[in-house]
Structure 1
Amino acid sequence: MEDLSHKRKVTIMFAIIVAMFFSAINQTIVSTAMPRIIAILGGMEYYTWVITIYMLASTIATVLVGKLSDIYGRKPFILAGIVFFLIGAFLCGFSQDIYQLIVYRGIQGIGAGIIMASAFTAVGDLFAPRERGKWTGIMMAVFGFSSVLGPALGGWLVDNLEWKWLFWIFLPLGLVAFVMIWSLFPKTERKVSEKIDYWGSLFLSLTITALLLGFSWAGTKYEWGSPEILGLFGGAIVFVLIFIYSQTKAASPVLPLSLFRNDIVTLSNVIGFIMNAGMMGALIYLPFFVQGVEGISPTYSGYVTMPMSISMVILSALVGKWITKTGKYKKYAVMGFPIMIAGMLIMAYMNSVWMAVVAMIVFGIGLGVGMPVFSLTVQNAVSPAQLGVATASSQLFRNLGGTIGIAVMGTIMQSSLTGNMKKAAASGDAFHFADLDPETAKQVAAFQNPEMLLDQPKLEQLRQTLPEDVQPLITQMIDMLRDALSSSLTTVFLSGMALVVVALVLVLFLREIPLRTSNKMPEEEAASGSVNLAKVENAH
């Protein structure tokens, strides 16, 4: 597709961006509203699962589609991804409890994984690595714009309409994206010599599932040393060993082990894994600070996260252009990570909404500078024949990092919150209900649940039903809950920051090679040049 006219390429990219925006906005619009949705449906202990299942499904879909799209082309998979996402979003609006929401978010995750794997690889089909910097920056800006619009719109919708409209409002955009991809994207011929690696796909999926379930349940549903968790981790080890063996025997492996002999690919993927583990694991709890600790409504909570997205949009677009112009990329990662670390440090010690806004701006700048680099490094280091599987490997490691980070940070959050609550109870500030009548005591006891802080209207409504003489006790209990939640969030943000520091150290060891001006590898260009020279000499 590199030979298509520039106008056709831009038109195709517009169609891809519409599909990506549809997927991204459906993710970000839910983020700010999730605390309220959890409060309505119940099941705060499953809060991280709504996000984890989405990322688990998208991770598996991403890595499987990477190789398949190298065989069958990108078009059928982008279309299939949009269909899965449409179905999942439609069903999410009908969820009656947290369990249904988790299942339907899983379907959405499958669609999102397919869309993202196909979209980012399609950029590699259309443009040479040197040109991809600009388009990678634009695609990052699309994510940023969805992050600007999504949280604020999600907060407004959940405050003013039924929460199901969060999932339904952009369904028409998905249909538009489907039609555009169907009509504009060129069809590619199947590589008849390539065979599908069914065994590798199966055991890779089993490895990812066992690993992520183990991290998700450890410390929350089961103890870290419980038979269930040890069994899942043991199963993951067995599955990955079988997977590695299958890759040495497969004619066309789903994730070629030879890919990881390339130090640029391996180090970029490890950095992406660690970075996403720290970043995603910490950032999903930002609404807990804004809504739970500060008592801000979901609408205004979305406005707090907006500055991060705006600064990310601006910087990622600029960095993409600078990379295309100079052909250099490593320095932007080296510059971006310290800024991200500074933003997370501010998050850890913020005590007001304004400090949260400052943290978001700083973090967004670092994100915009550093994030566009790593897909580009991987794509630039492999041949066009491995473009799909290499891009999928990059997204696989980032998704794994994000999912494991969310699970681990969820464990840290729950254990820290439990410890803080016990500490408050043992400090002499424990609440005694002996002087209250049984019904009032039961109502007051409900204020010992941190989940109450996530639905301010319900909290205030319940508070108004209690006698005047109990109000000082309620105020004291709410303050205690907020202090416990705030301290727990500090632990979470510092843990995430520590991981990003590790990623920064690894970036210093990343080898930089020139960005190619063609989709051909240097040896292929040299061979092509030799052939052309021989033809000229023979003509004479």
Structure 2
Amino acid sequence: MEHLSHKRKMTIMMAIIAAMFFSAINQTIVGTALPRIIAKLGGMDYYTWVITIYMLTSTIATILVGKLSDIYGRKPFILSGIIFFMIGAFLSGTSADIIQLIIYRGIQGIGAGIIMATAFTAVGDLFAPRERGKWTGVMTAVFGFSSVIGPALGGYIVDHMDWKWVFWIFLPLGIVAFFMILILFPKVERKQSESIDYAGSLFLTLTIVPLLLAFSWAGTQYAWGSPQIILLFAGTLVSLLIFLFVQTRVKSPVLPLSLFKNSVVTISNVIGFLMNAGMMGALIYIPFFVQGVMGISPTYSGYVTMPMSICMVISSAISGQLITKTGKYKRFALLGMPVMILGMIIMSFMDSVWMAVISMIVFGFGLGLGMPVFTLAAQNAVAPQQLGVVTASSQLFRNMGGTIGIAVMGTIMSSKITSNLAEAAASGKAVDLSQLDPKVAEQFQAFHNPQMLLDQPKLEQIQQSLPEALKTIFTQMIDMLRDALSSSLSTVFLSGAALLVVALMLAFFLKEIPLRMTSRTSSGQEDGTSAGQSGAVPAKQVLLEQTAE
């Protein structure tokens, strides 16, 4: 689609941005509202599952759609993605319990995975590598803008309206995005020579699902060394071996192994995995600190995270323009990632709302500089006909990193809370319930659940209903819970920072290939850089591009 007129490209980008914004705003609006929703529906033990199932289904959808969109074109998939997302969002608002919410969020995840895979790939179809830097910055800014208004709006809804509207309020936008894509997006004929890798798709799914389930259940539902977790890891290994065997035999593999012979693709994907594991695994628990530890309402909790999004929009827009202007991208990763690490370290020591805001500002600047680089680097290192599958591989590794990161950080937080409460009891700092009436003591045992901290109106209601003699004991127990939660979150944020440090070290080994000003070589033919080659650009072309700057 690179041959289309500038005006037509702009209209197509408007449609893509509308679809992306619909998906992104529905995700960010849930963030600050989710603790209150879980408190209403019950099931604190399943909190991470509401997020994990979304990322699990979106991960599978992303990688399967990547290759299929290379064959059939992007349009039918982005349309189906919007439909899946709308159905999932509507059903999520009808949830009567946590299990239903998890199932419906899984449907939403399918739609989100399809939308994200096809949207980022379509940018590669429309624009040459040199121009993609600018548009990658715009796409990141879309996420940033949705993150600015989403959390605050989500908090406002659960404070002043029925929580169901968190999922329903933007459904009309989905209808608009659907018809914009339907009308504006060009149709691409199927590549008849390509076949569908059904076996590879099946065993790739059977590799991803048990792997993510193992990480999600280990340490919470089951012990790490339990038969259930060992069986899941064993199933992952067997499916992976079969998948690798299939990929070496089929004509058109769903995830060509030759991609990973390209050092740029491999390193970019590993960095994306680590960054998302550290970032998502830590940031998903920011509302726990703001609402649970500091006692801030969901509405104001959204205001705390807003500065991160604003800073991300600004820095991603600036870095996108500079990448397009210079054709260089590695420097922005090496600048942004240390800033992200600094922001996360501040999170681990924050003890006030203002420190939380400062950490968000610092982290947001680093995120906007560093995050867009690695998908751009991977796309630039392969031939145009592999854009779909390489973009899908980038999304796959990021989603898997985020899912595993959330699960592992959740395990760390839960185990740390338990140990903190046990230490408080052993040291004598905990409230001695043995001095109370047995019936009253039994009621107070329920107050050891950190889930209570996420529902401020209920806490106030309980406190008001207690006799004066018990209010002091209740306050002491809540303070103990908050201390235990705060300490556990510090451990979570430090763990996320450690993962980002590893990602930063890998970034130094990323080979930078100058961004081409066209998807064709200087000879006029399509760039034949294969995934198995180093991805080097001919010296003559590099010289021409440097002269053109």
- Structure 2 vs 1, CA of residues 521 and 256 (structure 1 numbering), >3 Å: closer, same or farther? farther
- Residue of structure 1 equivalent to 2:542: none
Alignment of 1:59-138 (within 5 A): 59-138=59-138
Question: Aligned residue for 2:147?
Answer: 147
Distance 1:77 1:21, change over 3 A: same
Written as runs of structure 1 = structure 2, the 5 A alignment for 1:401-480 is 401-480=401-480
Q: Cα 1:251–1:467, aligned 2, differ >3 Å: closer, same or farther? A: same
Partner of 2:398 in structure 1?
A: 398
Q: CA deviation at 1:370?
A: 0.5
Q: Does structure 2 conserve the Cα–Cα contact (< 8 Å) formed by 1:333 and 1:371?
A: yes
Post-superposition offset of 1:445: 2.5
Task: Please list the CA deviations of residues 243-290 of structure 1 after superposition, one character each: whole Å capped at 9, or x if unmatched.
Answer: 000000111000000111111000000000011101100000000000
CA drift at 1:526: 8.8
1:45 matched to 2:42? The reply is no
Residue of structure 2 in register with 1:348 after alignment: 348
Letter of the 2:96 counterpart: Q
Q: Secondary structure of 2:163's partner?
A: coil
Residue 481 of structure 1 aligns with which residue? 481
**Alignment length (residue pairs):** 529
Q: Please give the TM-score of this superposition, normalised by the length of structure 1.
A: 0.96
* Residues 336 and 369, structure 2, Cα contact 8 Å, conserved in 1: yes
Aligned equivalents of 2:438, 2:40: Cα separation in 1: 26
Which amino acid is 1:33 matched to? Answer: A
- Who is 2:543 aligned against? none
Determine the C-alpha separation between the residues in 1 that align with 2:462 and 2:436.
17
Whole-angstrom distance in 2 between the partners of 1:342 and 1:155:
27
Partner of 2:25: 25
Q: Distance in 1 between matches of 2:527 and 2:90?
A: 52
1:119 and 1:500 map into 2 onto residues whose CA distance is 26
Alignment partners' CA distance in 1, 2:35 and 2:524: 53
CA distance in structure 2 between the partners assigned to 1:106 and 1:520 by the alignment: 40
Aligned residues: percent identity? 74
2:212 & 2:182 partners in 1: Cα distance? 34
Aligned equivalents of 1:323 and 1:522: distance in 2?
21
Alpha-carbon distance in structure 2 between the residues aligned to 1:438 and 1:263: 65
Shift of 1:356: 0.1
Give 1:368's aligned amino acid: G
Cα 1:523/1:498, change in 2 over 3 Å? farther
Check conservation: 1:440, 1:466, Cα contact below 8 A.
no
AA aligned to 1:136 is T
Instruction: Judge conservation of contact 2:145–2:313 (CA < 8 Å) in 1.
Output: yes
| Contact residue 145 and residue 310 of structure 1 kept, 8 A | yes
- Mapped partners of 2:259, 2:433: distance in 1: 64
Equivalent residue letter for 1:162: D
Deviation at 1:521, TM superposition (A): 5.1
- Would you say the 8 A contact 1:383–1:520 is kept in 2? no
Residue 450 of structure 1 deviates from its aligned partner by: 1.1
Partner of 2:544: none
Paired residues for 1:121-520 under 5 Å:
121-520=121-520
Which secondary structure state, in structure 2, belongs to the residue aligned with residue 323 of structure 1? helix
Deviations 1:132-187 (A, max 9, x none): 00000000000000000100000000000010000000000000000000000000
2:533 aligns with none
Q: What is the CA distance between 1:486 and its match in structure 2? A: 0.4
SS of 2:336's partner is: helix
The AA in structure 1 aligned to 2:63 is V
Q: In the alignment, is the contact (CA less than 8 A) between 1:420 and 1:484 conserved in 2?
A: yes
Give me the CA root mean square deviation.
1.3
Deviation at 1:434, TM superposition (A): 3.8
Aligned counterparts of 1:515 and 1:461: Cα–Cα separation in 2: 60
Work out the CA distance in 2 between the residues paired with 1:526 and 1:37.
51
Asked if the contact 2:384/2:526 (under 8 Å) is kept, the reply is no
- Give 1:532's aligned residue: none
The one-letter amino acid of 2:518's match is: S
- For residue 23 of structure 2, what is the amino acid of its counterpart? S
Structure 2 gap ranges (5+)? 529-537, 539-549
1:112 is paired with a residue whose SS is helix
Show the counterpart of 2:35. 35
Q: Bigger shift: 518-527 or 31-40? A: 518-527
State how far apart, in whole Å, the 1-side matches of 2:476 and 2:17 are: 50
Does the 8 Å contact 2:87/2:107 carry over to 1? yes
AA of the residue aligned to 2:430? A
Indicate if the aligned counterparts of 2:151 and 2:302 stay in contact, CA closer than 8 A.
yes
Equivalent residue of 2:192, what SS?
coil
Mapped to 2, the partners of 1:232 and 1:222 lie a distance apart of 12
Question: Deviation string for 1:300-352 (max 9, x for gaps)?
Answer: 00000000000000110111011001100000000000000000000000000
Q: Which amino acid aligns with 1:392?
A: A
For residues 65 and 399 of structure 2, what CA distance do their matches in structure 1 show?
Answer: 14
- Cα displacement string for residues 415-470 of structure 1 (whole angstroms, at most 9, x for unaligned residues): 11111111111111232334433443333322221111110110110111111011
